[in-house]
């Protein structure tokens, strides 16, 4: 395996030679089995066709109209917190609330579908529990081994036979994943059928959610650009998975960081309160232009990227050039590496984001202030191929995160709503951030779940400002 964070090498992997460095076969097989033929599961011309159809629904013009929905949902979470702390400080398990909030954000703005009332005592939607537990379940050691060893041969077996084999095998972990996928698939079908009916009956008038726009765009597309209904259904779980788990854990991380840095939290609160006093409800432009809120989000996504690494595999022999020469085991200086066909490549998004040669000696420190002043010349000179702020957080090239602006807007709406009202402080329990593909919070004393992983949680002390 080749571990890479050199900017020039990353440019070749994700941009220039992306047709050579593809997602590993087991990745495509897994995502197709879980999500169907969505944006994560397709490659080449098929992927470009889907992306072309999806790109307009994540445009700034479309997102401007989503801001009121974002604040409406964020205020529901705020009301739930108010009920908890109206008599004084209360320890709140923040991670589950951020999951519920992120799911409702993508549910309503993405599909015109409500997953959660966001009221205290209401149960987490089975879909949320499934998609939240998916990363931990698929990272279970026996499942990972089965994924690497067996999955390349899975497509040789008819789907009905595959299901019969899974049902027959006494493999508890695989049954847990099977049940999660069933819940996700059934919910996606329910959402799609409701959207299709709405569009057919009145052309979806009054609906601005992603799925309505996507269905109408697909109906209006040429035969060449149109995608089948099964792929539209597959986009639902694909988008929710990509949007919910990353955004919810990024929000949890930011609240945890703010709890540990009260001076940053206070400065952020002042900026947010001033903005609400001067503008009332914040629109897209105002929310996007708050400099310290933007700095806190950027720095958190730099130092603590929700997805710390990606994998690729070379489908042919190729030479990978380097920006900075390395020394080989026999002492020779090398400014390129020969990569044989079949080589697995681990792209470290996190290491590139925190490389001292790019970001300076304080690269691993969380300092939102670094984004207030102009960045050092070495940052743009590094030519990191990411699509966001000289960072690899949202990757780059033709498989970069299509909804990265959507995610930032969600985070800013939720943070601005909560921080103006509540003060967050660390609890007495030690928080651990586990790498389950997506980085997720738990505690040292967390109970062990049915699939052998720690229960996800982030306890924080919360008080009214």
Angle in degrees, CA 264, 268, 269, rounded to 5: 115
Measured CA to CA, the distance from residue 268 to residue 273 in angstroms comes to 9
Which residues are 440's β-sheet partners?
A: 434
Measured CA to CA, the distance from residue 388 to residue 454 in angstroms comes to 32
**What string of DSSP letters covers 384-424?**
---SBTTB-TT--GGGS-TTHHHHHHHHHHHHHHHHTTEEE
Measured CA to CA, the distance from residue 60 to residue 163 in angstroms comes to 42
Contacting residues for 293 by C-beta, under 8 A, at least 6 apart: 268, 271, 272, 287, 412, 415, 416
Measured CA to CA, the distance from residue 355 to residue 362 in angstroms comes to 10
Burial class for 351, CB neighbours closer than 10 Å (0-12, 13-18, 19+): middle
**Annotation-wise, does 401 bind a ligand?**
yes
Question: Where are the alpha helices (H) located in 7-158, listed in sequence order?
Answer: 7-11, 25-35, 44-54, 60-64, 67-85, 94-111, 126-138, 141-154
Measured CA to CA, the distance from residue 334 to residue 157 in angstroms comes to 45
The conformation of residue 115, written as its DSSP 8-state character, comes to: -
What H or E segment, with its residue span, contains residue 322? strand 318-327
Angle in degrees, CA 404, 410, 411, rounded to 5: 90
- Spatial contact of 440 and 131, defined as CB atoms under 8 Å apart: no
Question: End-to-end alpha-carbon separation of the chain, Å?
Answer: 50
Measured CA to CA, the distance from residue 270 to residue 216 in angstroms comes to 43
Burial class for 417, CB neighbours closer than 10 Å (0-12, 13-18, 19+): buried
Measured CA to CA, the distance from residue 230 to residue 171 in angstroms comes to 29
- Spatial contact of 281 and 353, defined as CB atoms under 8 Å apart: no
Annotated binding site for heme: 401
Annotated binding site: 401
């Amino acid at each position: 395996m080749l571990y890479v964070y050199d900017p020039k090498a990353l440019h070749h992997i994700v941009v220039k030679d992306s047709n050579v460095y593809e997602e590993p076969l087991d990745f495509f097989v897994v995502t197709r089995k879980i999500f169907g033929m969505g944006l994560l599961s397709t490659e080449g011309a098929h992927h470009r066709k889907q992306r072309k159809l999806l790109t307009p629904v994540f445009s700034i013009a479309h997102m401007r109209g989503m801001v009121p929905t974002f604040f409406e949902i964020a205020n529901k979470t705020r009301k739930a917190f108010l009920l908890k702390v109206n008599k004084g400080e209360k320890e709140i398990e923040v991670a589950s609330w951020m999951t519920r909030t992120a799911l409702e954000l993508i549910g309503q703005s993405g599909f015109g579908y409500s997953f959660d009332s966001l009221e205290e005592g209401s149960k987490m939607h089975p879909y949320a529990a499934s998609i939240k537990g998916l990363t931990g379940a698929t990272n279970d050691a026996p499942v990972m081994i089965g994924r690497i060893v067996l999955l390349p041969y899975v497509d040789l077996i008819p789907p009905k036979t595959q299901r019969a084999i899974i049902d027959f095998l006494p493999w508890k972990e695989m049954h847990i994943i099977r049940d999660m996928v069933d819940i996700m698939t059934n919910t996606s079908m329910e959402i799609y059928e409701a959207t299709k009916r709405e569009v057919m009956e009145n052309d979806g008038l009054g609906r601005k959610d992603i799925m309505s726009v996507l269905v109408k765009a697909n109906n209006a597309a040429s035969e060449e650009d149109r995608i089948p209904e099964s792929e539209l259904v597959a986009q639902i779980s694909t988008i929710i998975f990509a949007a919910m788990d990353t955004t919810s854990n990024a929000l949890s991380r930011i609240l945890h960081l703010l709890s540990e840095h009260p001076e940053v939290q206070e400065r952020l609160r002042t900026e947010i309160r001033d903005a609400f006093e001067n503008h009332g409800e914040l629109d897209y432009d105002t929310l996007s232009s708050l400099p310290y809120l933007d700095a806190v989000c950027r720095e958190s996504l730099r130092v603590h990227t929700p997805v710390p690494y990606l994998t690729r595999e070379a489908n042919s022999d190729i030479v990978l050039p380097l920006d900075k020469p390395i020394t080989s085991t026999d002492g020779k200086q090398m400014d390129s590496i020969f990569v044989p066909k079949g080589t697995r490549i681990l792209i470290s998004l996190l290491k590139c984001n925190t490389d001292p040669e790019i970001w300076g000696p304080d690269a691993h420190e969380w300092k939102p202030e670094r984004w207030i002043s102009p960045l050092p010349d070495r940052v743009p000179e590094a030519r990191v191929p990411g699509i966001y702020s000289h960072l690899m957080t949202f990757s780059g090239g033709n498989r970069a995160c299509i909804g990265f602006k959507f995610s930032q807007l969600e985070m800013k709406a939720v943070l601005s709503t909560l921080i103006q009202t509540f003060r967050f402080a660390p609890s007495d329990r030690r928080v651990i951030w586990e790498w389950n593909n997506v980085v997720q919070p738990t505690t040292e004393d967390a109970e062990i779940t049915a699939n052998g992983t720690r229960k996800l949680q982030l306890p924080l002390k919360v008080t009214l400002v």
